Amino acid sequence: MTDVMHIVLDETAMAAAGAGNVLASRLIHRAHAEAGWYLYAPACALVEADRGRPGTAEHLATLPGITVLDLDLPAILAIAQQATWAQAHVQHAAEPTPDRPDGAIIATTTASRWEGEPVRVLDLTP
């Protein structure tokens, strides 16, 4: 087991960070201040977060500890098979890759929406 943490923020976690959620803020701080902590913001989830809380996308995209994930062909193909773009892009981003063989953890404030999905979840509900 390694000390590397890969965490994908879903749109609820992004909105919570913008609203001052302490747990989301701690994740962002750790990703900026500690080696081995990586936070990802899938573009489709970032759009949804901004729709619900205007200004969220611009704010999160400027933070040094967050990597915005663009839509590439594999992400587009994954999204085409799902009902919502945001959830599909988040789930695709959390899947294992050569850089992240164990995949990533999804940070969310609605953990129940991920039940039954093959993902690990970090509940940011205070």
**What average pLDDT is seen over the chain?**
93
pLDDT at 83: 78
* Assigned token pair, 29: 């701080």
* Assigned token pair, 17: 């960070």
Quick one: pLDDT band at residue 80, thresholds 50, 70, 90? confident
Q: What percent of the chain has pLDDT over 90?
A: 83
pLDDT at 2: 59
Is the model's pLDDT at 30 over the cut of 70?
yes
Could you tell me if 23 and 123 are in contact, meaning their C-beta atoms sit under 8 angstroms apart?
Answer: no
